[in-house]
A and B are shown apart, each in its own frame.
Chain A
Amino acid sequence: MFRNIYWKRILRTLRDKATLFWTWIFPIIMATLFYVVFANLDVMGQLHEIPLGVIDTESYQQDISLHSALESVSDENGDTLFTVSLFGNTDEADIALENGDIDGYVLYDLMGDDPTLVVSDDGLNQTLAKRFLDGYLQIKNSVSIQATERLSSLLEEETYTKEISLSNNPPTEKVNYYYALLAMMCLYGGFQGLITVTYLQSNLSPLGARQAMAPVGRMRMVAYDLLGGLTMHFLCLLIAVAYIIFVLGTDFGSKLWLVLLTCFVGSVLGVAFGAMVSLTSKLKEAAKVALLITVTMVCCFLSGLMVGGVNYTVAEKAPVVAWLNPAARITDAFYCLYYYDTYERFFLNIGIILIMALAMLTVTALFVRRQRYDSI
């Protein structure tokens, strides 16, 4: 019985061209895109620090916190964001800006208020400088001036100060993007869950009704079928990882097994998530697909996979949401591999993922046991 149901699911998935494209080919295309983009970013990032001017006024001299903030990102050991040059007055700075010697300069107005950034056009460097200054002001206004020590460490937590890692031996930053991709792929396992539910519930499809008449326990059928879906989904993650390692040449090093573990646990969560979402809502298949995509996208967005930094905001404003967000947990597990040398937080994440998956499977099971419907 197991073989019959399981094998049917494997065969179906292998022959479903749309699913194959979205779950197998599409991630590989994305990974390749990342690869190409990084190749360019690496060149830019390594060769060009951002030339930034500062008007050397009394206000600047007195603003010790800005001094130290700039220092913290312009240190000597190579991790340099800015090269700072001082100008006596705005005219000199304007000329330098026009000649392209600097990308922008920091100016204190006459009132001696907060510094502002003067730029002549838009670009990545200008944006980075702007974000730096905004971030600086935000922190400065919320912390006392005396806490300059803390200030610089706070600044370091923001990722725009190039690569900051708590581990001794950081891999290149692009691994993080691959991690984000893998995390998103895990959640797309939801589609496998959706397929199982749709084709096994008598109120959702004629196939469901036909299979409901089989002399096989419902739970068994759903479980075997879900296992088939999970197998196929994990396989597509394995292929993506293999592609990243062997074709794109990124090495996960000694953490490979933990990466695979996260992929597997994440797939379980994704599949369970999809099964639960599609089972508990009374929608038609197309609407369920839309619902699943939306929920997945929202989770991904909240976990910072789309716009960097959203995850920090959510973690601060709504910690419960952050902790219960499946996408955030999977992403966090991956990031732990990147940022930390110790594994407590990593395994905490894995544990939470497993508990969530279990909870979702339990809800699924409770709904599956209902077999008779008011209307089919």
Chain B
Amino acid sequence: MIQVHNLVKRYGDLIALDHFDLTIHKGEIFGLLGPNGSGKTTAINCMLSLLKYSKGEVKLFGQPMGPNRYALKKRIGVVMQNVAVFNELTVIENINYFCGLYVPDKAKRKALVEEAIDFTGLGDYRKFLPKKLSGGLLRRLNIACGIAHKPELIFLDEPTVAVDPQSRNHILEGIRKLNQDGATVVYTSHYMEEVEQLCSRIMIMDKGKAVATGTKEELKAMIRTGEKLTVELHALPESILEEIRGIEGLVQVDYADNTLTMRYAAGGHHLSTVLDILRRHDISFGRVFSEPPTLNDVFLEITGTELKD
């Protein structure tokens, strides 16, 4: 569906995309995950031929993409990072206009517009001007304008920035539905939870490079750290802490603020071992959490910096 090979994009001296490669298959929800400025938007804009690039090639639907490839453009839907709707047109007029650029037939278009309105839950706001919409509703309108014509390939660039959790879930749900209806989705975000929930395959980007690609399980398997265990304790003698540190397969053990945190090496399960030690020494403990590694851990380990901003 998408093949990007050896793409290089410079803004002056800054290299925004550094020999970037990407392959996306039909039917995927592909997540581009990376901190601010890692080149996600630049990658999308280059794939869409909105930006010139110094080197590399982009193929969409197996054909080279270019600004005049209208046959390809017809099959693509784009939802940009910045909201792009006409302030003077109502919700329904906006959707109708953008849909009309793809679907000249009026009756057909009418049905599609209605479907998009349903889909984004904007039914009560048909006659609203964009400035009367809340941030979340505006984002939904932005999405509706990009997907009303039922594209086969959809690019969504951080569609959930500055959106409340309810709207966000609505949007994510919608994207899943689009995918079930057959669309291939390229989704960028710097919220890893979102990407983890939604995407079937993920690329982690940093400084214009792909640092890792795979399903979330594959990504997590790439790193040394496995689950993270947290135990609440009132007191922990140094000797016992040492004993716990001695357990084989624990990568990291810390005790601070009445909490004991430990990381296992990938694949390890040592909960019972730790709890046995505590019980043996009659140490009472409060809550116990066990968390699987997050994409943040993956990012942290690969790049040495936190993904969160």
Residue positions of A touching B, CB distance < 8 A: 1, 4-5, 8, 11-13, 15-16, 199, 202, 205-207, 209-217, 371-376
Contacts and interface: CB of A to CB of B under 8 A. Distances in A.
B73 A214 contact: yes
Given A4-B100, A206-B84, A210-B98, A372 B49 contact: yes
Given A12-B89, A206-B82, A376-B45, A215 B50 contact: no
B73 A207 contact: no
Contacts of A16: 88
A319 B74 CA distance: 52
B51 A215 contact: no
Interface in B120-175: 145-146
Nearest to B155: A213
Contact of B93 (A11, A199, A202, A209): A11
B185 to A, nearest CB: 16
A372 B104 CA distance: 26
Contacts of A207: 84-86
Given A211-B101, A215-B73, A374-B52, 18 more contacts: A1-B101, A4-B101, A12-B86, A13-B88, A207-B86, A209-B50, A210-B78, A210-B80, A210-B84, A214-B101, A215-B71, A371-B67, A372-B52, A373-B50, A373-B52, A374-B51, A375-B11, A376-B50
A58 B21 CA distance: 99
Contacts of A205: 84
Nearest to B71: A215
Contacts of B146: 210
Contacts of B100: 1, 4
A4 B97 contact: yes
A13 B87 CA distance: 11
A295 B101 CA distance: 34
Contacts of A206: 80, 82-84
B32 interface: no
Contacts, number: 82
Contacts of B51: 372-376
A131 B49 CA distance: 64
Contacts of A372: 49-52, 67
B5 to A, nearest CB: 18
B82 A8 contact: no
Contacts of A209: 45, 50, 80, 84
A205 B83 CA distance: 10
13 contacts: A1-B100, A4-B104, A8-B86, A12-B86, A199-B86, A209-B80, A210-B80, A212-B67, A213-B48, A214-B102, A215-B71, A372-B49, A373-B51
Interface in B1-51: 11, 45, 48-51
Nearest to B9: A374
Contacts of B49: 371-372
A11 B89 contact: yes
B76 interface: yes
A195 to B, nearest CB: 11
A12 B88 contact: yes
Nearest to A203: B50
B88 A15 contact: yes
A288 B140 CA distance: 31
B158 to A, nearest CB: 13
A213 B78 contact: yes
Given A206-B82, A209-B50, A374-B11, A215 B101 contact: yes
A216 B88 contact: no
A8 B97 contact: yes
A368 to B, nearest CB: 12
Given A11-B88, A375-B11, A376-B51, A215 B98 contact: no
A150 B194 CA distance: 87
A206 B68 CA distance: 19
A268 B52 CA distance: 33
Contacts of B67: 212, 371-372
A216 B80 CA distance: 19
B89 A215 contact: no
B50 A202 contact: yes
A199 B76 CA distance: 20
Interface string B171-207: 0000000000000000000000000000000000000
A209 to B, nearest CB: 6
Contacts of B45: 209, 376
A101 B164 CA distance: 82
Residue picked from A199, A209, A212, most chain B C-beta under 10 Å? A209
Contacts of A374: 11, 51-52
A26 B172 CA distance: 48
A15 B86 CA distance: 11
Contacts of B145: 210
Contacts of B102: 214-215
A372 B45 CA distance: 10
Nearest 10 CB-CB pairs, A to B? Answer: A206-B84, A214-B101, A4-B100, A206-B82, A215-B70, A371-B67, A15-B88, A215-B74, A210-B84, A215-B73
Contacts of B71: 215
Contact of A213 (B73, B82, B85): B73
A372 B54 CA distance: 12
Nearest to A374: B52
Nearest to B99: A4
Contacts of A373: 50-52
B208 to A, nearest CB: 15
A199 B35 CA distance: 29
A5 B101 CA distance: 8
Contacts of B70: 215-217
Given A210-B78, A216-B101, A374-B51, A8 B73 contact: no
